[in-house]
Amino acid sequence: MSRDTARYDIALGQVLRQSLEIVPSDAAHGETWSFLALVLLPDVCAARFPDLHADRMIGTPSKHALRRVWDREEVLLELLDPAHPKPLGEDELFQLFDRTALVRDHRLVRALVAAVLKSGEGDRSSWARQLYKRITFLTGARLLDVLSDQELDDLVRSEAAKIEGSEPAEPFSRLKVRLPSDPTELKFTLSLTDAWASRVDAFMPAGVFELDVRSVGAVDAARRMVGRLDDSVGPSEFETAVLELMLDAQYLHLFAGEAIELARSNLQRSQSQKR
What is the distance of C-alpha 4 from the center of its chain?
28
User: How many C-alpha atoms does 5 have within 13 Å on its Cβ side?
Assistant: 10
- Over 60: is that where the pLDDT of 200 sits? no
- Over 50: is that where the pLDDT of 203 sits? no
Percent of the chain whose predicted confidence (pLDDT) is above 70: 85
Give 208-228 pLDDT, tens digit per residue.
777 788 788 889 988 888 888
The pLDDT of 170-196, averaged and rounded, is: 75
- Over 90: is that where the pLDDT of 16 sits? yes
Three-state secondary structure readout of 29-79: CHHHHHHHHHHHCHHHHHHHCCCCCHHHHHCCCCCCCCHHHHHHHHHHHHH
> Quick check: 256 and 264 in contact, CB under 8 A?
no
What pLDDT band is residue 56 in, cutting at 50, 70 and 90? very high
The most confident of the ranges 21-35, 140-154, 158-172 is 21-35
The pLDDT of 75-97, averaged and rounded, is: 90
Q: What secondary structure does DSSP assign to 197-250, as a single string?
A: HTSGGGSSPP-HHHHHHHHH-HHHHHHHHHHH--TTS---HHHHHHHHHHTSGG
d(CA 25, CA 123): 37
pLDDT at 235: 76
What pLDDT band is residue 239 in, cutting at 50, 70 and 90? confident
